[in-house]
Every structure is written in structure tokens, then in C-alpha cells.
Chains A and B, each alone.
Chain A
Amino acid sequence: MSQFVDILLLLIFIYVVAYNLATLTLLTLSLSETSAVARARRARVARGPHTPPPLQPSITVVIPAYNEEPVIVASVGSILAGTYEPMRVVVVDDGSTDGTSAALDAAYDLVELPIGGGFALETEPVERLSISRRDPRLRVVRKANGGRSDAVNAGIAVARHDLIAVTDADSVLEPDAIALAVAAFTADPSRVVACGGIVRIANGGRFVDGRLVEPRVKVRGIEATQTVEYLRGFLGSRIAWARLNALVIISGAFGVFRRDFLVESGGLSKQTLGEDMELTLRLYHQLRPAHPEMRVAFVPDAVCWTEAPSKLSALRSQRIRWHVGLIDNLRLHRAMLGRRFGRVGRIALPYAILFEAVAPVIGLVGSVLVVGLLVFGGATWWFVVALALAAVLLGQIQTAGAILVEEVGFRRYRSRDLLLLGLWSVLELFWYRPLTLLWRVWAMVLLLVGRRPEWGTIPRGAALGTGDEAPKSQTLPLPR
């Protein structure tokens, strides 16, 4: 028995060391890339706004919306106020039961267009197609409810531009976000097939006219900890994955894709819960064998502010869905493991399997083992304290690294906010990480017994305000 425990401890130890080495490597890569980009930006900022070269690719921003009445007008307004041309916005009202379409009609004076047929992607029936008289760049599609993927696919089908940007109605893009993302395509048009921007947490930020003018960190743990988590995820790793040309996820909140590839690959999948990751993996799966040079880019300066769940129940539902989606996608694209898909198959997917998909099980086994040893007298208190301290500090070093990347490259937060982030990153180990670990284990249990997680409800809309007045909170029945 004791030998078995010894071996188990050794394996967990090796796992922890490997995980931390991998994380620190990613952090170092991110830091080096961010530092280079920050220096280059220092020179570029001095030149003023970038002048677009002739024959810029056209882009359509697709916004799927379900019961987004309180935020939709401000959201569309913030995108139309962007600096990029030629651009169109297609809002897809996915069978809302509130006044989403009516709000747009009132604000933008919509005129009905014939629907016609021959859409490039199959979706639930389109009921109404309209264009704004006030700003003809805006089109609104009203369709039967079919879920987020279906709504995005309807938007892609209606759009006719070279590039498609997908964002959410409860997200706010910075004015230059589209231009910055498109620049990744124009700089390397034949290789870049998709591009992601950074998603930052808007909770606590100050909004004026639908724009976030001052990012702040909420004092409340659930929102502050998610800010920390997003910084770790986007700044601590995605920059590095993009540099390795092995970025396997573009966030659903803000991604830009070449439309021809989106249409050819059938649009967003309705079969998986993690449709954003699935799409990115599918692009690699279909394109990389014939085009090894293809790239999925990441532009950390292209910022999308989004609202994080402020209630544990909503967070739980989100995390269970994310983990089921992750495992779904890894199963669906397991054939990509290996050399044929370059670093995606050799590094990114093994990393996702080892350190993301099965991590909750390892974490749970490790925790049970330590508690068992303590209860049955196999370990002393100082051992447990030292172990907990090492775990806290390892987590903390990841956060400190991500904050360092933020500081070197972006400096969006006030000193006070950095302190808050630091504080919650220490505390998260005692409540947030165990909770998310348990939810992810629960997601695996659901998968094992063949049950899909329920979509549940996400209260939202409170964090993204216009002016000083925040919109009313609403409940979003998540699509089927």
C-alpha cells in the first residue's frame, strides 16, 4: 500500500512539475513577445493612426442576439462607431421573446428586404431581413430560435464580405479592435485564416456612451478572480500559443475569420458546447495538411470587453459547459494528435489533454491523497502546510507572470486594481480553484454517464452600461 502511495505521490509530483514548467515556458514566451510588441507599439503610436492600404478587405461583424433588448442598441452603436471601413454589422435576432428587434427598429429605422433563398449555410428559417435607413451598414436578421451557433451561421450566410467578425451582444469592442484584427490579415493575407482578440472582463469598469473609458477591477471575489483568470488565460498563454503557431481556440466573444473558409467548413457546429474551439480546431484539421503555413493569429491589442458571471450558479453552469465542450472537441479532433498537424498536434493538443482536460481528476486525486495521509497519520501538518503553500505560490506565480505581461504590454489597470488582482489570486486557491475543479469533475461525470449538461440561465447585462446608468439585469434562457 505504502509503495502504491509513494508511486502515486511521485506521479503527481512529476505532473505538477511538468505543468508548472509548461506554464512558465508559455509565460516567458508571452512576456518576450509582449515586450517586443510593446516596444514596436511605442514607435508606431508616434506615427498616429495607421493608414489603411488600398483595397482593404471588407468585414461583416455578426452579432447573435437573444433577448438582448437592454444592451443591443449600445452594442451595435459601439461597433458602428469603430474606425474600420469597409464594414457591415449583421445582428441576428435568434427568436428573442423581448423587444430586441423593436429596439433596433426604433434606433436605426429598419426597412424590410426580400429574404430570397440560396443561403450558403443551413439554419433555422429566416423570418425577416432588414436594413437600416439611418445607417445602411446595419442589417438585422430575425429568425426562429436555433441557438448561438445557428444564429452566427445565419449571419455568415447573409454576410457577403471577405472577413467575418463574431462578437456577442453583451460585449463591447474597442473602436480600433476591428481595424487591428484586420491588420493581421492584411499583413499576411495568404497565411492568416483566423484571428482572435483579447477578451477582458468589463465588470466594475466605467462606461460612457456605451464605451468602456476606465477599466476597473470589482472588489467582489467572483468577478475579480475571473479578471485574474482571464489575464492568465489570454496574456499568460494565448500570446505564446499564437507565437508557436498553435493557438487552438479563438474566443466566441471576439474572433475574425475568413468567410470563404467558414462557409466551406460548414460554419459553427451545433453539435458541441464549445463551438468556438471546435471551429478553430476544424480549420486546422481541414487546412493544415495541405497548407502547413496557415496561421491562426492573436492580436492582444484588439480588445473586447465582456461581462463575467457575477453569480456562482451562472459561473458553475458556464464552467461545466466549457469543460464538456473541451472534452467534446478533443474527442472529435483526436486524429489531429501527431506530427501531421505541426505544433498543434505535437504540443497544443497534448497540453490541452494533459493539463486542461484531465487536470481536474489529477487535482482531485492529489487533494484526496493529501487529506487521506493527514487523517490516517501518514503525513504531518507541516507537510500539508508546506504543500499548500507551494500550491498557492505556484498559482500565484502564474498570476504574477500574467500581471507582469499586462504591465509590460498594456498597463490598463490602476495600481489599486493590481493590488486587488494580486490579493484575489492568492485567495482564489482556497475557494475558487476547488470550486471550479469540482465543477469540471462534475462535467466529466456527466459525460461518463452520457448526460449533457443543462444550459441553465445566465443573468447578464448589469456590467455593460451606457453613461452612468447600467441597464436592467435580464435572464437569458440559453439556446438549445
Chain B
Amino acid sequence: MSGSIGRAGEFAAVTAAFLIVLNVTVVVFIYWRRLRLAVHEKRAERVRARLAPIIESVRADASPADRQRLRDAVADLDAQSRPIAAALLIDRLDEVPASERGAIVELLREAGAIDVALRSAHARTAWRRSLACAALGASGALEAVPALEELLDDHNHHVREAAVEALGAIGDPAALPALRQLYLSETAVRPGIVYAALVELGPAAAEVFREAIGSDNPRVRASACFGLAATSRGDVSQDEVSIEPIEHALKDSDSAVRTAAADALAAVGAGTVPSALVTAVTDPELSVRKAAVRALGAYDDPRAVAAAARALRDDEREIALRSAESLVLLARKPRAGQDAARALAVADGWPVQTARILEAIGAL
């Protein structure tokens, strides 16, 4: 036994020695890193102080002197100051009114800033590539689209996502084929990110969502319903075209798709309630019924009133509450208002009382 104890003791001693070295290394690394970051931060502060007034002068009506200063500053940028300049520029571009955007991009282009960002999009480190994507996206420079499309195949998923977001921010329909492929394949980038970028492209992306609603993948079909709603809102001419596929999705075999379709119809809203939405109020799936009842409140149509009044008698608490809320919303509308007010007067149960209190305190 003493032999094994001796061996265990020796092993423990060696382990202890190794761990002392490891621990000291970690502690030294942490404090060395803190020190390095402190030095770096001080330097960054100086760079920021130098660049901030120059970036601040990035305006559509910049004077020739300001333009020259910007050109000089861009020419002087080194590896350490580029990210700081990019961050300042992104913040500045956030404040710029849309009407001045074109002139500002032209100014940046003339100063060589867009070229610098395009070069940084091929930087060795992933975060620099991501930051370059963000800067290009904020600038809205159309010439960045091909470079950003290339980055959709980047090995780093953060870079791919940043490229997708930048393409969305630029909003050039030329990026649609690449984004369409990503959206339908649902692999290289998380689907919500591609969805958001497509929505940012506006009505131009509606075609992709229309195609996606016929996808084999129910997840893609469900998000396509929202996409169609989001890209058609506020555009009446688009609504007529977009509602039809969403209405069709209300008959989907997958209940998640039907729920998404009903929710999407709530977001679109219009005058005439789609027949499929009225039918969905009696769907066997609770989630579909809930979404459908809520959506009724967005349509100025007496048929929506009748369907909501029927749903008031549903045994499910949420259906009853949502239908009462929909009736209160419908009571405000010109065509459906009178019918809704009558339905509310007749059905004076707790769901209606709740909806009335919510209306009184401005919560509806």
C-alpha cells in the first residue's frame, strides 16, 4: 500500500506543480490583458477625439475644407484606427436624414472611405470583417453588394449574419437572388436574420415570400406569411396580391403555418375580411383560433363582427377575451361599428367587461 500511496503522492506533487504554473499563467494573462486593454483604450480615446469632429462634419453640405480633412483622415487610417472610425461613422449615419443619405454616400466615396471598408471586408480577423459589413450596410453604398454577397459564404457565421444584415440595410433588390437562396435553404444563416433582411428590402422581397409560401418546409412557409404581411403593409396595391397566398396558407396542413397566416392577416388588416379567416375561427387547433379571433379586429367588415360574436361563447378563456377585444376594436370602425356595438350590448359577460375596462384606460 505504501508504494501506491507514494506514487499517488508523487503524482499529486507533479500535478500541483503543473497547476501552479497554469494558474499563474492564467492570472498573469488576465492582468496583462487588462493592462493592454487599458493602454489600447487610452489610445482609442485619442483617436476618437481626433476623428470625432471630422466624422461629425460629414454632411451633405460639407465645405471643401471639411471634404479635404475627411480625405486626409481616411488616408491616415491604420489598422487600429479603422474600427474606431467605422464605429463613429455608423453612429453618424444613424443620425443622417434619409434625404441626405445619397449626398453623404457620395462624400464618403469621394474621400475613399467606402474603398477602405470594402478592403476591410476581406480582413483576416472575423470581427473586422463583421464591422466592415456593418459600416457598408450603414453607408448604403450599392457597390458593396457584390462584396457582401461574397461574404455570405464566409466560414464565420457572425460574418455571414453581418453580411446578410448589411444587404438588408442597403436595400438593393440586386441582393434578392442571394438572400432568396439563403432563405429557402435555411442553413448557412439563422432564418430570422435572413427574414429581417428580406423585409428591409420591402415590396421587392414579396416575390421571394410568395415563392417561400409553397416551400416543403413548414418553418419557411410560416415565416413567409409574416414576410408577405410585412412587405405589403401600407401598400394597398400590394395587399390585394399578398393576401391571397396568406389566405391560402390558412388551409395548410401544419397548424403552425395556419397560426402564422392568421397572425399575418392581423398585421395586414383591410376592409373585407378574408373568408378563410372567418372559417379559421372554428379551427380545431387552439393557437389558430386565437390568432384568427384577434385578426378579426383588424377588418372593417360586418362578417368579422358575426364571427367574433360567435367566438365570444368559446369555452377557452383566451378566445373569449380576444373576441371581446376584437369587438371593441370593430366598434370603432365605420362599416362594422354599429353591428359590433350591438353585439357588445347583447353579450355583457366578463370578457366584454374586461375589454371595456381595457378600452377605458387606453389599453386597447
A40 pairs with B130, CB closer than 8 A: yes
B87 contacts the other chain (Cβ, under 8 Å)? yes
Residues of A contacting B256 in the complex (Cβ-Cβ under 8 angstroms)? 190
**Closest chain B residue, CB of each to CB of A133:** B361
**Known interface pairs A6-B1, A40-B130, A415-B34. Does A394 touch B192 (Cβ–Cβ under 8 Å)?**
no
Residues of B contacting A422 in the complex (Cβ-Cβ under 8 angstroms)? 27
B317 pairs with A394, CB closer than 8 A: no
**Closest chain A residue, CB of each to CB of B13:** A386
B53 contacts the other chain (Cβ, under 8 Å)? no
Residues of A contacting B351 in the complex (Cβ-Cβ under 8 angstroms)? 116
**Known interface pairs A47-B138, A407-B30. Does A397 touch B19 (Cβ–Cβ under 8 Å)?**
yes
A209 contacts the other chain (Cβ, under 8 Å)? no
Query: Which residues of chain B (212-259) have a CB below 8 Å from chain A?
Result: 219, 222-223, 226, 229-230, 233, 256
**Closest chain B residue, CB of each to CB of A130:** B357
B362 pairs with A407, CB closer than 8 A: no
Q: Among the listed stretches B54-62, B193-201, B335-343, which one makes contact with chain A, having 4 or more residues with CB under 8 Å of it?
A: B193-201
Residues of A contacting B229 in the complex (Cβ-Cβ under 8 angstroms)? 54-55
B350 pairs with A43, CB closer than 8 A: no
B235: min CB distance to chain A, Å:
13
0 or 1 for each of B177-191: is its CB under 8 Å from A? (1 = yes): 000000000000011
0 or 1 for each of A100-120: is its CB under 8 Å from B? (1 = yes): 000000000001011111111
Contact of A390 among B12, B31, B362 (CB under 8 A): B12
Q: Among the listed stretches B2-10, B101-109, B139-147, B303-311, which one makes contact with chain A, having 4 or more residues with CB under 8 Å of it?
A: B2-10
Residues of B contacting A120 in the complex (Cβ-Cβ under 8 angstroms)? 317-318
A472 contacts the other chain (Cβ, under 8 Å)? no
**Closest chain A residue, CB of each to CB of B156:** A36
Query: Which residues of chain A (149-194) have a CB below 8 Å from chain B?
Result: 160, 186-190
A44 contacts the other chain (Cβ, under 8 Å)? yes
Report the bound CA distance from A408 to B158 in whole Å.
17
Residues of A contacting B80 in the complex (Cβ-Cβ under 8 angstroms)? none
Contact of A407 among B34, B127, B137 (CB under 8 A): B34
0 or 1 for each of A41-61: is its CB under 8 Å from B? (1 = yes): 011111110000111000000
Interface size classification for chain A: 35 or more
Residues of A contacting B135 in the complex (Cβ-Cβ under 8 angstroms)? 46
Residues of A contacting B278 in the complex (Cβ-Cβ under 8 angstroms)? none
A477 contacts the other chain (Cβ, under 8 Å)? no
A190 pairs with B219, CB closer than 8 A: yes
Report the bound CA distance from A111 to B196 in whole Å.
38
**Known interface pairs A386-B12, A407-B30. Does A46 touch B19 (Cβ–Cβ under 8 Å)?**
no
Contact of A116 among B12, B31, B34, B354 (CB under 8 A): B354
Query: Which residues of chain A (196-241) have a CB below 8 Å from chain B?
Result: none
Report the bound CA distance from A260 to B289 in whole Å.
13
Residues of A contacting B353 in the complex (Cβ-Cβ under 8 angstroms)? 113-114
Query: Which residues of chain B (1-46) have a CB below 8 Å from chain A?
Result: 1-2, 4-6, 8-9, 11-13, 15-16, 19-20, 22-23, 26-27, 29-31, 33-34, 37
A407 pairs with B33, CB closer than 8 A: yes
Residues of B contacting A296 in the complex (Cβ-Cβ under 8 angstroms)? none
A42 pairs with B315, CB closer than 8 A: no
B127 pairs with A404, CB closer than 8 A: no
Query: Which residues of chain B (289-336) have a CB below 8 Å from chain A?
Result: 315-318, 320-322
Report the bound CA distance from A203 to B133 in whole Å.
40
A5 pairs with B1, CB closer than 8 A: yes
Residues of B contacting A43 in the complex (Cβ-Cβ under 8 angstroms)? 127-128, 130-131, 133-134, 158, 162
B287 pairs with A260, CB closer than 8 A: yes
Residues of A contacting B222 in the complex (Cβ-Cβ under 8 angstroms)? 190
A136 pairs with B361, CB closer than 8 A: yes
A450: min CB distance to chain B, Å:
38
A383 pairs with B12, CB closer than 8 A: yes
Interface size classification for chain B: 35 or more
Residues of A contacting B133 in the complex (Cβ-Cβ under 8 angstroms)? 43
Report the bound CA distance from A140 to B11 in whole Å.
61
Residues of B contacting A396 in the complex (Cβ-Cβ under 8 angstroms)? 19, 23
Query: Which residues of chain A (128-157) have a CB below 8 Å from chain B?
Result: 131, 133, 136
A418 contacts the other chain (Cβ, under 8 Å)? yes
Most interface-central of B4, B29, B162, B263 (chain A CB within 10 A): B4
A53 pairs with B199, CB closer than 8 A: yes
A247 contacts the other chain (Cβ, under 8 Å)? no
**Known interface pairs A6-B1, A188-B192, A389-B12. Does A400 touch B357 (Cβ–Cβ under 8 Å)?**
no
Residues of B contacting A401 in the complex (Cβ-Cβ under 8 angstroms)? 26
B363 contacts the other chain (Cβ, under 8 Å)? yes
**Known interface pairs A54-B230, A397-B23. Does A387 touch B30 (Cβ–Cβ under 8 Å)?**
no
Contact of A39 among B31, B125, B363 (CB under 8 A): B125
B267 contacts the other chain (Cβ, under 8 Å)? yes
**Known interface pairs A383-B9, A403-B30, A415-B31. Does A53 touch B87 (Cβ–Cβ under 8 Å)?**
no
**Closest chain A residue, CB of each to CB of B20:** A393
A298: min CB distance to chain B, Å:
15
A123: min CB distance to chain B, Å:
13
A373 pairs with B87, CB closer than 8 A: no
B91 contacts the other chain (Cβ, under 8 Å)? yes
Report the bound CA distance from A187 to B4 in whole Å.
55
0 or 1 for each of A365-379: is its CB under 8 Å from B? (1 = yes): 000000001000011
A420: min CB distance to chain B, Å:
13
Contact of B22 among A133, A387, A397, A411 (CB under 8 A): A397
Report the bound CA distance from A393 to B22 in whole Å.
9
Residues of B contacting A114 in the complex (Cβ-Cβ under 8 angstroms)? 350, 353-354
B192 pairs with A47, CB closer than 8 A: no
Report the bound CA distance from A310 to B128 in whole Å.
44
A9 contacts the other chain (Cβ, under 8 Å)? yes
Residues of A contacting B316 in the complex (Cβ-Cβ under 8 angstroms)? 118
A235: min CB distance to chain B, Å:
13
Residues of B contacting A389 in the complex (Cβ-Cβ under 8 angstroms)? 12-13, 16
**Closest chain B residue, CB of each to CB of A382:** B9
Residues of B contacting A131 in the complex (Cβ-Cβ under 8 angstroms)? 357-358, 361, 363
Residues of A contacting B1 in the complex (Cβ-Cβ under 8 angstroms)? 2, 5-6, 378
Report the bound CA distance from A40 to B156 in whole Å.
10
Report the bound CA distance from A40 to B267 in whole Å.
33
Residues of B contacting A119 in the complex (Cβ-Cβ under 8 angstroms)? 317
Residues of B contacting A271 in the complex (Cβ-Cβ under 8 angstroms)? none
B127 pairs with A115, CB closer than 8 A: no
Residues of B contacting A382 in the complex (Cβ-Cβ under 8 angstroms)? 9, 13
**Known interface pairs A390-B16, A393-B23. Does A53 touch B196 (Cβ–Cβ under 8 Å)?**
yes
B158 pairs with A36, CB closer than 8 A: yes
Residues of B contacting A9 in the complex (Cβ-Cβ under 8 angstroms)? 4-5, 8
Report the bound CA distance from A171 to B60 in whole Å.
48
B30 pairs with A418, CB closer than 8 A: yes
**Closest chain B residue, CB of each to CB of A116:** B350
Report the bound CA distance from A457 to B26 in whole Å.
39
B47: min CB distance to chain A, Å:
14
Interface residues of A (CB under 8 A from B): 2, 5-6, 9-10, 13, 36-37, 39-40, 42-48, 53-55, 111, 113-120, 131, 133, 136, 160, 186-190, 260, 373, 378-380, 382-383, 386-387, 389-390, 393-394, 396-397, 400-401, 403-404, 407-408, 411, 415, 418, 422
Residue pairs across A and B with Cβ atoms less than 8 A apart, 14 shown, are: A39-B126, A42-B131, A46-B83, A46-B134, A47-B138, A55-B267, A187-B192, A187-B193, A189-B191, A190-B191, A260-B287, A387-B9, A394-B19, A403-B26
Q: A44-B162, A47-B134, A54-B233 are in contact. List 5 more A-B contacts (CB 8 A).
A: A48-B91, A55-B229, A116-B354, A186-B196, A387-B9
| Among all A-B residue pairs, the 10 with the closest Cβ atoms | A393-B19, A118-B317, A136-B363, A43-B130, A383-B9, A39-B127, A2-B1, A46-B87, A40-B158, A114-B350
